[in-house]
Chain A
Amino acid sequence: MRLRSRAARRAGLNVLGVLVALVTLFPILWMASTAFKPAREIYSLTPHLLPAHPTLGNFRSVLDGKVIGLPYWNFLKNSLFVTLASVIASMLISLLAAIAVARFRFRLRTSYLIMLLIVQMLPQQAMVIALFLDFRSIGLLDNLAGLILVYTAFSIPVTIWMLRSFVAAVPREMEEAAAIDGAGPMRIFWRIMLPLVAPGLVATSVFAFIFAWNEFIFALTFLGTDTAKYTLPIYVTYFYGRGTVDWGSIMASSVLFTLPVLVFFLIVQRRMTNGLMAGAVKG
């Protein structure tokens, strides 16, 4: 009797879990399903969950650049360039800073950490006004290099915070032992710190990747006039903004933009969430 009620409760919880997962996944699945539907099914009076006659037509028109005049690859290239450059830059910069705050005790340490917390919360729609005017005067508008600078600076407060806990987890004794054996700081860094922090670097770089890949407001403001320079988020909304709304193309472009993030995220999910916790909530 007792056993049965426990099994029933377990089954009930599982059903609830599946329900939560399905409701949560529904918008993403609907995006994918729409992307494969031909126009007459998209605007049909009775929407179906799955496309009855799946087509690649929407993807083809996105990849060929039917709407914007430039193929998808052009914007993928822009987004990849901006994202990878800013991820590498922010990893280099934040690893140094993370070593400083995790390994050294110095006077400004607490102030620096508090500064990082505050900086994360400053509204980007405020900063974008001054940065727009600054970049305008030094010719960084319509320039992907400007975005790389901004994405690096705005991701490091979080990446330092996340990396800090990974650096702190490297046993100090290992470094000391290597130092006693005569290894210099450079050698200790390359041979001990870097390999041990590598998983943390991966998790943290996923955060920096998602931030730069998804970023909208700076790209929207800085890449105003030069369509060829658009990154993928601006590209997706470009479809949306043109008079006749072609939902098939919008969803197809949205799939091509979202999929890399979701795949990337699923691969490193566990470490990522642990790192996020270390960043936001010390658990």
Chain B
Amino acid sequence: MVRTVSGQPGRIPGPEDPASPADRTGHRSPGLRDVPGVRQRAAAFIRRRRLTPYALLLPSTIAIGLLVFWPTIQIAEFSLQNYGLPQVTGVAPTQWVGGANFSAILSDPEFWLSLRISLIFAAVVVPLTLLTGTLVGLLLNRLGPKMAAFVSSAAMLAWATPAVSASVIFIWLTDPDGGVVDWVLARMPSWLGGGAHWAGFSWTNAPLPAYTLLTVLVVWQGFPFVAVSVLAGLKTIPAELHESARVDGGGAWRIFWRVTYPLLKPIFLVLLLLSIIWDFGVFTQAYLVTGELGNRDEYNLGIYVYDRAFTMPPSYGIGSALALILTVILLIITIGYVRASVRQGAIQ
């Protein structure tokens, strides 16, 4: 594969190559006939060294450019067009409609509802994921090596479980007929919130229960990554720091906020921003738990985008405008993420 570098048409020294004539005119003296060849080769080598990284980046740039950047540009374009069923089947041409898609979206109560659901969901799930993950990370740090390996393996299995399987499992766990969650809740004492009214309770038919279920599901899949990241950060903190803090009489709570947290702050910042991006745009789990586009009042922004674009009759224009709004929101958070990563020295 590296061969492509020297095989590139631009690199074969030819008459149009600016380096060759200079070499030829500069060293014409007989007896040194092979010197120009050497110099030429050296020059070619330097040029090759200079162009090699670009040649190496060519395949990835083409793939990302064609399949990620180009669609993004197209979405911006479609968002200003009346792109629907007649246009995609070729019955009618696409027309530019200016900001009509956007004004339709902004006056659509369903858009604001889905945006609200996405915002509230992220506001609940992100802190819960970070809290659970941090607590498990702190626990892992204090366990013996074998126990820590066992617990972190178990946790990472939850992380590696495919979103589709995880969703189907949690829907089954909370199923009104035969689901184990309702069964347990119905048998729990009332002071713990249990009671017979839980028997046959449907978790997916109303927004609040559905998003409670989604919260548990997404935290379950999300906390292991936080835990392992926090653990990796904790390992970089010298043990003496904690010991001296303990000798100074600090409790666990104080030590965490005075020693651990400030040192891990950059990691927490990156984890916070990543979690916001992931949880705000969560699709697969939300799509399956809310019944595969079955309950409009349970749409989050991601599902709403998908529904407007693809549900018959499809409206790719409106869908693209919504997709653009979702992309811009996520890009704003991404800028923070990139800045945090750069400050941490990730771009070295």
Flag whether B341 is at the interface (Cβ < 8 A). yes
Cross-interface CB contact of A121 among B49, B330, B344, cutoff 8 Å:
B330
Cβ contacts A199-232/B at 8 Å (1 or 0 each): 0000000000010011011000100000000000
Interface string of A244-275 (1 = CB under 8 A from B): 01010011001001100110011001000100
Residues on B with C-beta less than 8 A from A139 are none
- Report B's interface with A, CB cutoff 8 A: 1-3, 5-6, 49-50, 52-54, 56-57, 59-61, 63-64, 66-72, 74-75, 78, 83, 88, 136, 139-140, 142-144, 147-148, 150-158, 160-166, 168-173, 175, 177-178, 180, 183, 220, 224-225, 228-229, 232-233, 235-236, 267, 270-271, 274, 277, 281, 283-284, 287-288, 292, 302, 305-306, 309-310, 316, 319-320, 323-324, 326-327, 330-331, 333-334, 337-338, 341-342, 344-347
> What is the chain B residue whose CB lies nearest that of A273?
B228
Given contacts A27-B220, A106-B50, A213-B162, contact A283 B232 (CB under 8 A): yes
Q: Which residues of A contact B274 (CB under 8 A)?
A: 280
Check B288 against A237 for contact (C-beta < 8 Å): yes
Chain B residue, CB-CB nearest to A14: B147
Stretch at the interface among A59-67, A68-76, A145-153, A169-177: A145-153
Contact with B along A130-172 (1 / 0, CB 8 A): 1111101000000000000110111011001000000000000
Q: Indicate whether A283 sits within 8 Å of B233 (C-beta atoms), given known contacts A100-B57, A133-B88, A236-B164.
A: yes
> What 4 A-B pairs have minimum CB-CB distances, sorted nearest first?
A126-B323, A153-B67, A130-B71, A100-B56
CB distance from A158 to the nearest CB of B (A): 12
Q: Which listed residue (A93, A127, A217, A281) contacts B270, Cβ 8 A? A: A281
> When chains A and B are docked, how far (Å) is the Cα of A226 from the Cα of B17?
54
A125 and B74 form a contact (CB under 8 A): no
Contact indicator B67/A113 (Cβ below 8 Å) = no
Closest partner residue, chain A, to B303 (CB atom): A125
From the candidates A16, A127, A129, name the one contacting B316 in the complex (CB within 8 A). A129
With A123-B281, A130-B75 known as contacts, the answer to whether A24 contacts B165 (CB < 8 A) is no
- B135 CB to closest chain A CB (Å) equals 9
Interfacial residues of chain A within 23-39, with CB under 8 A of chain B in the complex: 24-25, 27-28, 30-31, 34
Listed by A's residue number, 13 A-B pairs whose Cβ atoms lie within 8 Å are A20-B154, A24-B154, A27-B166, A30-B173, A97-B57, A125-B281, A126-B305, A134-B70, A213-B162, A236-B165, A237-B292, A251-B168, A251-B169
| Whole-angstrom CA separation of A3 from B203 in the bound complex | 49
Interface of A, secondary structure class, is helix
Q: Are B54 and A106 in contact (CB under 8 A)?
A: yes
Which of A110, A160, A217 has the most C-beta atoms of chain B within 10 angstroms of its own C-beta?
Answer: A217
A114-B338, A237-B164, A265-B160 known; A153 vs B66 contact (CB < 8 Å): yes
Q: B180, A47: Cβ atoms under 8 Å?
A: yes
Evaluate whether A129 and B75 lie within 8 angstroms (CB atoms) in the complex, with A100-B53, A110-B347, A247-B172 already known.
Answer: yes
Apart from the given pairs A44-B178, A119-B68, A126-B72, 9 other A-B contacts in the complex at a CB distance below 8 Å: A14-B147, A17-B147, A28-B158, A103-B53, A118-B334, A125-B283, A125-B326, A129-B316, A130-B71
Q: Tell whether A53 is near chain B: CB-to-CB under 8 Å.
A: no
Q: Which residues of B contact A34 (CB under 8 A)?
A: 172
Contact with A261, one of B68, B162, B270, B281 (Cβ below 8 angstroms): B162
Q: How far, in Å, is B289 (CB) from chain A's closest CB?
A: 11
A236 touches B75 (CB 8 A): no
| A192 contacts B by Cβ under 8 Å | no
B-facing mask of A108-123, CB < 8 A → 1, else 0?
A: 1110111101110111
Indicate if the CB atoms of A277 and B229 lie closer than 8 Å: yes
Chain B residues whose CB sits within 8 angstroms of the CB of A94 once the complex forms: 60
Closest Cβ of chain B: how far from A237's Cβ, in Å? 6
Q: Is the CB of B2 within 8 A of A185?
A: yes
Q: How far does the Cβ of A12 sit from chain B's closest Cβ, in whole Å? A: 10
Q: Please measure, in the bound complex, the distance between the C-alpha atom of A96 and the C-alpha atom of B235, giving whole angstroms.
A: 32
> Which of these, A97, A216, A277, contacts B284 with CB under 8 Å?
A216
- On whether A186 and B327 interact (CB within 8 A), knowing A31-B165, A157-B64, the answer reads no
CB distance from B26 to the nearest CB of A (A): 27
Interface size on A, residues (CB 8 A): 98
Q: Which of A25, A126, A236 contacts B326 (CB 8 A)?
A: A126
Bound together, the chains give a CA A140 to CA B283 distance in angstroms of 23
- Considering residues A94, A108, A250, A254, which has the most beta carbons from chain B within 10 angstroms of its beta carbon? A254
Residues of B within 8 A of A17 (CB): 139-140, 143, 147-148, 150-151
Does A56 lie at the interface of the complex (its beta carbon under 8 Å from any beta carbon of B)? no
Please give the distance in Å from B314's CB to the nearest CB on chain A: 9
Q: Does A180 contact B (CB under 8 A)?
A: no
B residues near A124, Cβ cutoff 8 Å = 283
By a CB distance below 8 angstroms, the chain B residues around A241 are 292
Contact of A131 among B67, B151, B173 (CB under 8 A): B67
Q: Given the complex of chains A and B, what is the CA–CA distance between A216 and B306 in angstroms? A: 13
CB distance from B320 to the nearest CB of A (A): 6
A276 touches B74 (CB 8 A): no
Contact B316 A133 (CB under 8 A): yes
Select which of A14, A96, A117 is within 8 A of B56 by beta carbon: A96
For B148, the chain A residues whose CB sits under 8 A away are 17
A152 neighbours in B (Cβ, 8 Å): 63, 67
Whether A16 and B139, one on each chain, are in contact in the complex, defined by CB atoms closer than 8 angstroms, is: yes
A213-B162, A265-B160 as given contacts; A254 in contact with B183, CB under 8 Å: no
Bound CA span A269–B277, Å: 25
CB distance from A180 to the nearest CB of B (A): 14
**Distance A283 CA – B163 CA, assembled complex (angstroms):** 27
Contact A21 B326 (CB under 8 A): no
